[in-house]
Amino acid sequence: MTATRKPLLATLLGEATWPPPVWLMRQAGRFLPEFRALREKADFITRCMTPDMAVEITLQPIRRFGMDGAILFSDILILPWAMGQSLEFVPGRGPVLGAVRSQADLDRLDPGRVAQAVEPVMQTLRRLRAIVDGPEAIGPARPGQVTLIGFAGAPFTVACYMVEGHGSREFEETRKLAYTDPAFFDRLIDLLTTSTADMLCAQIEAGAEAVMLFDSWSGLLPPSQFRKHVIEPAKRITAIINARHPGVPVIGFPRLAGLMAVEYGRETGVNAMALDTGADMKAVADKVPGTLVLQGNLDPIRVLAGGEGMRTEARAIRDAMKGRPHVFNLGHGVIPTTPPEHVGDLIKTIREV
């Protein structure tokens, strides 16, 4: 007797399932009216740190659409916050942090306090795992079908926000500092590499069945810096996870990396690589090992636009990946103004085979 495996987990472990499993980056978010309703009640960090709320927000999209994956509701900036960096999410502006630009700034942070600070997140995961593996169906998702995904920001992307102190298109201060004070920048990346690996392992111990490493700004780096600050840390984090939790898949997302994504996919040891909107999935598939699972990569604006154009493009991506392990997703997060019906239509389209 073999238990029916969860489609997303099976795919992340290398099985070519058909139709492909589907979930969407930022599926738990502002495009859902039920998310916006909870948003009135508490600020963002409180929502992340209150298990009742985080569990609810994680499950909202599953109840409506029955995606194959439930991604933990949290944020990549919870790690620096847990180390003691000041963090505020300012409506209309995004995250604002007390910039860390010197060794003295770094010395004020304490990785030793992370485990305790993120304990509510671990409680959220324990509760979510009990729910996804419980006897009750979650909306249209069948019982036992949903895979629980944990995540963290990759060291370079988290360093971008830590050093810059806010979002940016170019992160000039961060990239300049990597050149003017490489010793400091290397220590920051090193600290983030070990603490990110620890946090992802803790998420797995709390119930995450797969983990994703978001490197949203990796594409800003030239190849030599990309190898040093993107590929090397991802390789170390994956090796630590593999050693402590063999068999738990790691998804890497080197966003905007262009051709360097191929090197990332070949060298980091990740089980799966998420591709951004600009990548030609088929062309990448031809250049990486057939065992590397690919995830992606419909343009989020296609989902905003909806209609036959969205369905045609979604089918084209799905069908081009047939026969190889593929997780259907977007090339970046769901746009907050996306009509929820478009998301429902997309999930139905992927599964219509």
Ligand X SMILES: Cc1c2[nH]c(c1CCC(=O)O)Cc1[nH]c(c(CCC(=O)O)c1C)Cc1[nH]c(c(CCC(=O)O)c1C)Cc1[nH]c(c(C)c1CCC(=O)O)C2
Enumerate binding residues for ligand X (CB under 6 A): 25-30, 39, 44, 71, 73, 75-77, 89, 94-95, 151, 167, 214, 216, 333
48 and 54 Cβ atoms separated by less than 8 Å: yes
**Which CB, 25 or 109, lies closer to ligand X?**
25
Pick the catalytic residue from 47, 64, 68, 161: 161
Pick the catalytic residue from 30, 127, 315, 351: 30
Consult the annotation and say whether 218 binds a ligand: no
261 and 273 Cβ atoms separated by less than 8 Å: yes
**Which CB, 29 or 325, lies closer to ligand X?**
29
59 and 104 Cβ atoms separated by less than 8 Å: no
Helix (H, G, I), strand (E, B) or coil at 195: helix
**What is the closest distance, in whole angstroms, from the C-beta atom of residue 238 to ligand X in the complex?**
18
Helix axes 119-132, 51-65, angle to 10 degrees: 30
Query: Residue 337 has what DSSP assignment?
Result: T
**Which CB, 66 or 95, lies closer to ligand X?**
95
Who's near 285: CB < 8 A, 6+ residues apart?
Answer: 294, 321, 324
96 and 165 Cβ atoms separated by less than 8 Å: yes
In 3D, which of 150, 296, 134, 124 has the Cα closest to residue 209? 150
Consult the annotation and say whether 75 binds a ligand: yes
Consult the annotation and say whether 326 binds a ligand: no
75 is catalytic: yes
Who's near 151: CB < 8 A, 6+ residues apart?
Answer: 71, 72, 74, 76, 200, 203, 211, 212, 213, 214
213 and 192 Cβ atoms separated by less than 8 Å: no
CA distance 317 to 327: 10
Consult the annotation and say whether 266 binds a ligand: no
**What is the closest distance, in whole angstroms, from the C-beta atom of residue 7 to ligand X in the complex?**
19
39 is catalytic: yes
**What is the closest distance, in whole angstroms, from the C-beta atom of residue 322 to ligand X in the complex?**
26
**Which CB, 97 or 260, lies closer to ligand X?**
97
**What is the closest distance, in whole angstroms, from the C-beta atom of residue 353 to ligand X in the complex?**
26
**Which CB, 148 or 248, lies closer to ligand X?**
148
Pick the catalytic residue from 39, 127, 266, 351: 39
Q: Is the peptide bond before 19 cis (omega within 30 degrees of 0)?
A: yes
Consult the annotation and say whether 187 binds a ligand: no
Helix (H, G, I), strand (E, B) or coil at 144: coil
CA distance 71 to 115: 20
**Which CB, 158 or 197, lies closer to ligand X?**
158
30 is catalytic: yes
Consult the annotation and say whether 29 binds a ligand: yes
Q: Which residues pair with 150 in a beta bridge?
A: 211
**What is the closest distance, in whole angstroms, from the C-beta atom of residue 189 to ligand X in the complex?**
17
**What is the closest distance, in whole angstroms, from the C-beta atom of residue 217 to ligand X in the complex?**
7
Consult the annotation and say whether 93 binds a ligand: no
- CA 302, 306, 310, 314 torsion-angle sign: positive
Residue that the structure tokens 């090992």 belong to: 289
Binding site for substrate, by residue number, is: 26-30, 75, 161, 216, 332
User: Which residues carry out catalysis?
Assistant: 26, 30, 39, 75, 161
Binding site, by residue number, is: 26-30, 75, 161, 216, 332
